[in-house]
Amino acid sequence: MALYCIGDIQGCDDAFAQLLQTVDFSPSRDTLYVLGDLVNRGPKSAEVLRRCMQAGDSMRALLGNHDLHLLAASQGLRRQSKRDTLAQVLEASDRDALLDWLRQQPLARLHTNAHGENLLMVHAGVLPQWSLPDCLALNQEVQTVLQSADFARFLQNMYGNLPDRWTAGLEGDDRLRCIVNAFTRLRFCSEQGVMDFDSAESADQAPQGLMPWFEVPGRATADTPMAFGHWSTLGHINRANLMAMDTGCVWGGCLSMMRIGEHLGERELIQLQCPQAQVPGGKS
C-alpha cells in the first residue's frame, strides 16, 4: 500500500496516465491525493475527471481555482477565456456526472497515517491566523454550500479580491469568498495576512511588504506538514513540513508526484517531463 500526492494536472491526462503507470498505481492498494486544478489549459480535462471519478476513494481530489472556474462556467456564470480548454467537459455526454463529482470535492483534506502524523493538503495556501482545526472547519463551510441547492448563487458571488484579509466576524458571501481565495488563489500575503492576487512570480521576487504565505512568522499551521500546488513559478519544495508540488506540467515543465512512506518524512519524488500544452504568461 502506497500513499501519493500529485501537483496540478490541468487536463494533461496523457502525462497523468503515464505517471500512474510508472509507479504501478493500483486503486485496490494505493491512495492518491490530487492537489487541485485537475482541469483547464491542457487538452484532456474530461479524461482526467473520468479517471479520478472511476478510481473511487483511491483518488481523492481537491478543488483548485480552475476547477471552480469550470463549475461556474457550467452554470453560465463565467465567460471562458481564449486559453480555456473547458469545452471538452462542457460538451461531453457525461458532463452532468463529471460536474456533479467535481462539486463533491473539498477545498482541504487531512490525511492521518497509522502513526498519528497529519498531512494537510490544500490547492494554494492558508492564512497565517488559521490553525489546522480552523482550516478543516472553514473548508466544511464552503463544501456545505457548494453541495447544496444554493450552489449556483454561491458560484455567482464567489469572484472578487475583497475582503483581502481574514477576520472571524466575516459573514455571508464575504466570508465564503475570503475562504475560497485563500485556499485556491493565495501566493503572497503580508505579515498580517493581507492577501495579494496580482503577483504570480517566484518566491524570491515577492512584492515589497509581502512574502510567500508559508513564510509568515508565527503561522498557526507552521508545525503541520502541508502539501499544496497552484504556484508553478515557485517550483518544487520539499521541506520537513512543506511540499510544493506544482511544477508546471501544462507549461512544458514536469508533472510531479510524491510517494510518501510509512512516516511522512519518508518521501520519494517521481517526475515526468511533459510536452508544452500552452505558452506561459499571466497567472496560472
pLDDT at 281: 66
Q: How far is CA 264 from CA 3, 8, 206, 240, in A?
A: 10, 21, 29, 8
Amino acid letter, 193: G
pLDDT at 82: 86
pLDDT tens digits, one per residue of 129-143: 999 999 999 999 999
Give me the residue label for grid cell 473548508: 139
pLDDT at 203: 87
Give me the residue label for grid cell 485496490: 28
DSSP state of 221: T
| C-alpha cell of residue 284 | 496560472
Q: How far apart are CA 33 and CA 227, in angstroms?
A: 10
Tell me the average confidence (pLDDT) per consecutive run of 10 residues in the chain, 284 residues long: 96 97 96 98 97 98 98 92 92 98 98 97 98 98 96 96 97 98 98 94 89 97 98 95 97 97 97 90 53
pLDDT tens digits, one per residue of 191-213: 999 999 998 888 888 899 999 99
Q: What is the mean pLDDT of the chain?
A: 95
